[in-house]
Amino acid sequence: MEEGLRIDKYIWCVRLAKTRSLATEWCRKGKVRMGDEPVKPSRVVKPGDHFTLHDQGIERSFRVIELLKSRVGAKLVENYLNDLTPEEEYAKRIALQSRGFERRERGTGRPTKRERRDIDKLKDYESE
């Protein structure tokens, strides 16, 4: 096996990203970090390296166990990657998803009058 593997390819191989181009994009946008430094897609990872991935509002931490040549099935991912993310981060994701109307996807524009009324009703209900 090689001495290292590009981090974008590794993220794709262990199924953290749906496509390799998405993994590359995450690296370019600074969502993937090793230590406190954002990494370039060409950064080489080796077994024992730690990296974090900012994904859907939470910081997920991982440790590289072993390198691989190609994408593996979901059941085999645990042989190549250790998930070190604390449970509190996953709880934060669930809390963000349960907010519903309060969070709108970027680029969807302003809420309509009907949506604003629904948001106000929801806020009034939660404050009671």
Could you give all domains of the chain from N- to C-terminal order, each with its CATH number? Answer: 5-86 (3.10.290.10), 98-128 (no CATH)
pLDDT of residue 20: 94
At 31, which amino acid appears? K
How is residue 77 written in tokens? Answer: 């991912």
At 108, which amino acid appears? T
State the DSSP string of 50-94. EEEEEETTEEEEEEE----SS---GGGGGGTEEE---HHHHHHHH
pTM for the full predicted model = 0.72
How is residue 15 written in tokens? Answer: 């199924």
pLDDT of residue 128: 56
pLDDT of residue 1: 43
Q: Computed from CA positions of residues 93, 34, 106, 14, in that sequence, does the dihedral angle turn out positive or negative?
A: negative
pLDDT in tens, the chain (128 residues): 458 899 999 999 999 999 999 999 999 999 999 988 999 999 999 999 999 998 877 899 999 999 998 999 999 999 999 999 888 887 887 776 666 556 667 778 888 899 888 878 877 765 55
